[in-house]
A and B are shown apart, each in its own frame.
Chain A
């Protein structure tokens, strides 16, 4: 499995990378939505994108709408991982094509749980301790 982590915070990318590599994912990283789109165009295409909302250049919501507008990327699973917790915006993101929504701060277990729900978890992978 391959995950793309899209967040302007290097600290947050590091935390998410630590979690998903512990679950046997290969990772790529993008610093905003446009960077992620550029990487998708040049390939390889990931199985899942973990997408922050509030980013410079292109925010996560716009990124999701761009991905969903391209049929070639319809198999990519999109998971928002963001501080944006307003119900209105959660609904907007899900309606735009996000599959799951995780609100920061999160525990590693919350990410594992969502990946499991999405059927993306290799059960042979050990979700070992990550943050501390």
Chain B
């Protein structure tokens, strides 16, 4: 499980990114990595529902500075391994090791998080990704301000943005 904790909310701009921007960023990253014909499908999930994949990978990056937030991505296990195989040119999903998946999922959140960072007030700094086999969990001092639920080849994918409690203004 990827346990995320936070930073100092005192001086940050707690503005939330626009949901459609986050959706668009996610689709752009996905198609740049996997090809134009590998679109993500929308997926209806009730508000507050936990990520519902049986097995999952998750990764997070933190933005600190002019804007503060945590961007996470959660992927169904099969989705994570299939994406990894594609990104690393591994012939079959069975040959994907955990280290391969950690690297690929980390780069996914790095690209999504970096793109979201560029949409928000700066200057700010993007952390290195942290990756875990399992779904993401969040500390009590943050709140979700944006969530995109989509599916790829039937497997769920979720991108979330959290900001410190008290935001967004």
Contacts and interface: CB of A to CB of B under 8 A. Distances in A.
Interface of A: 8-12, 14-15, 18, 54-56, 82-86, 88-89, 103-107, 131-132
Nearest to A54: B126
Nearest to B30: A105
22 contacts: A10-B103, A15-B33, A54-B114, A55-B128, A82-B114, A83-B111, A83-B113, A83-B114, A83-B126, A84-B114, A85-B114, A85-B117, A86-B122, A86-B123, A103-B118, A104-B29, A105-B111, A106-B32, A131-B35, A131-B86, A132-B35, A132-B86
Contacts of B38: 132
B34 interface: yes
A8 B114 CA distance: 15
Given A83-B113, A105-B29, A132-B34, A14 B89 contact: yes
Interface of B: 28-29, 32-38, 84, 86-89, 100, 103-104, 106-107, 110-111, 113-115, 117-118, 122-124, 126, 128
A47 B124 CA distance: 32
Contacts, number: 77
A86 B116 CA distance: 11
Contacts of A18: 89
A83 B123 CA distance: 14
Contacts of A12: 107
Nearest to B32: A105
A11 B84 contact: yes
Contacts of B115: 83, 85, 104-105
Given A88-B122, A131-B34, A132-B38, A11 B103 contact: yes
A18 to B, nearest CB: 7
Contact of A11 (B28, B32, B87): B87
B59 to A, nearest CB: 11
A105 B118 contact: no
B86 to A, nearest CB: 7
Nearest to A55: B128
